[in-house]
Amino acid sequence: MKLNNVIMRTMTQMVFFIIFLFSIHIFLAGHFAPGGGFVGGLLMSCAIVLLLITFDLKTVQNLLPINYMVLTASGLALALLTACISAFAGEAFFTHYFDYFTLPLLGKTELHTAMLFDTGVYLVVVGVTMIIIQSIGGDE
């Protein structure tokens, strides 16, 4: 018997995006306010878990055709490369750089290489969480 979970599906379609947006906000806020790559990544994987609860594993794979192994690996590579920038420039490993830029829409913005490192953390957290949940939940 298959229950008609139309209310669940419709609400998920709205709520998923709000959680997604909140995770991006938390991720970007990390430098000056509580938040950062770790919580942001966890929130993002929470959003995907919500999708997994509502739909089944196969549908979610079709919705988001991401190989989480590759995602984790690229996150690690990004973090490592960010740390290596300073080594190539002849300074100590893991030295960060920042500067102020005037971007369209955003105005004067401080861009920091810690952001790239945080992006790596974000990707690794999402990837690892999803690998754990999918390998427990998926029954081959």
**Which residues of the chain form contacts with another protein (CB under 8 A)?**
13-14, 16-18, 20-22, 24-25, 62-64, 105-107
Gyration radius from the chain CA atoms: 18
CB of 25 to another protein, least distance (A): 4
The b/e string for 75-94 (b: 16+ C-beta within 10 A; e otherwise) is: beebbeebbebbeeeeeeee
- Encoded amino acid at 137, one letter: G
Pick 22 or 38: Cβ nearer another protein: 22
CB of 21 to another protein, least distance (A): 6
Q: What 3-state class would DSSP assign to 107?
A: strand
Cβ atoms of 37 and 125 within 8 Å: the answer is yes
CB of 123 to another protein, least distance (A): 14
CB of 15 to another protein, least distance (A): 11
Pick 90 or 108: Cβ nearer another protein: 108
Pick 21 or 77: Cβ nearer another protein: 21
Distance, C-alpha 26 to centroid of its chain: 11
CB of 84 to another protein, least distance (A): 29
Distance, C-alpha 36 to centroid of its chain: 10
Pick 7 or 105: Cβ nearer another protein: 105
Pick 67 or 135: Cβ nearer another protein: 67
| CA atoms of 1 and 87, how far apart (whole Å) | 60
| CA atoms of 46 and 14, how far apart (whole Å) | 14
